[in-house]
Amino acid sequence: MNSHSVSVASAETRSRRPRLPRRRSLVSAVAALAVGLGGTSAAAAHHGTFLGPLHTVTTIASTVPANGDLNPYGTAVVPQSIGALHKNNVLVSNFNNAANEQGTGTTIVQVKPNGGVSQFARINPSRLPSPCTGGIGLTTALSILPGGWVVVGSLPTGDGNAANAEAGCLLVLDSRGTVRETFTGHGINGPWDMTAVSHGNRADLFVTNVLNGTVAGGGNVVNRGTVLRIALELHGNQPPTREKTTKIGSGFAQRTDPDALVVGPTGVGLGHDGTLYVADTVNSRIAAIPDALKRRTSAGTGRTVSSGGALNGPLGLAIAPNNNILTVNGGDGNIVETTPAGRQVAIRQLDSTGTPPGAGALFGLAIAPNGRSVYFVDDASNTLNLLH
């Protein structure tokens, strides 16, 4: 593994990188952070934060499999060894094919902490238990349930163009990487990101959807993005079944984009008190949906936790062990730590390549098993990395 401060990709493997609107520079973000903390220095602001001790980025491995898929999106740590899954390894889903066409990636790779890589799954749309609307294009929506069931979202285009994006599905794979179930409809429409929680023989998926009227909007903002809670019943070595779908968030801004394909509500993470935090990418905002596990109605776009400042088109989202919210920016190469009260308390630059620096490089992230570092994918270099 090689430590580095920036990632550099060859022209052959560099993925298409979304150019989200750049709100302010890293220097401005630091200044805003200090002002928000009552004028304290950036160094003081890091004291006691999750990101505070983390200063080193190490490249773990390339996420490009044998078929050449690019654009790593989803990131999930394997919680226990079962089948082909090995505890503490990291699964990564790819959104682009080897020709760099968005919404056409079909592979999930498994990466060892020491850098070993294997292909966990290559999904053939013609060999599914039931159709996935439009084909396969694996998104940031990636979770692992008890029993080694892997759930991944698909937002397919067929040719990489937003005008041809279709509703897609959620695919359920067994621990050997075989698709055993396909969930479509009931509000699933461009599943973009996801988190999951399990309890006994039940599990809940929290899924953001970005295609409700988006294609018809032709690049204009359409306020119809949703967050679904999908209740599943677990059946041991048989595929989970979908019991109920509840729309718990709605009205989020979304639009098509020539570089990002779709921009809309992305990362989701469940806080310790049952609040679901959502990365509202278009508005550079973190939203909170209260009582996410039990609510029966939509909270709309939720309560604003924090907006602007160092937030610059947040995409991936994870909850740190201290219950703070970690987000990675699509508009620059930064990771931002925000408290549930809305204070942006720390930032780190993870990627500075491209123009603007780091724009479009960051998507999925996941807390490492040691609870003291964080995995993230870098689309500029098609790699899995560790901030530690």
pLDDT digits (tens, 9 = 90+) for 287-313: 999 999 999 999 999 999 999 999 999
The three-class DSSP label of residue 186 is coil
The three-class DSSP label of residue 356 is coil
- Report how far residue 286's alpha carbon sits from residue 2's, in angstroms, rounded to the nearest whole number: 33
Tell me the per-residue pLDDT of 17-41, one tens digit each, with 9 for 90 and over: 544 443 333 333 333 333 333 333 3
Work out the mean pLDDT of the chain and round it to a whole number.
90
Q: H/E/C letters for each residue in 154-175?
A: ECCCCCCCHHHCCCEEEEEECC
Question: How does residue 207 score in pLDDT terms, banded at 50, 70 and 90?
Answer: very high
Burial of 232 (0-12, 13-18, 19+ CB in 10 A): buried
- Give CA separation, 302 vs 131, 289, 297, 309, in Å: 33, 5, 12, 19
Of the listed ranges 19-23, 57-61, 265-269, the least confidently predicted one is: 19-23
Structure confidence at residue 259 (pLDDT): 84
Burial of 121 (0-12, 13-18, 19+ CB in 10 A): buried
How many other CB atoms are found less than 10 A from the CB of residue 161? 15
- Give CA separation, 108 vs 70, 151, 364, 366, in Å: 11, 11, 13, 16
Amino acid occupying residue 51 = L
How many other CB atoms are found less than 10 A from the CB of residue 26? 18
- Report how far residue 112's alpha carbon sits from residue 47's, in angstroms, rounded to the nearest whole number: 31
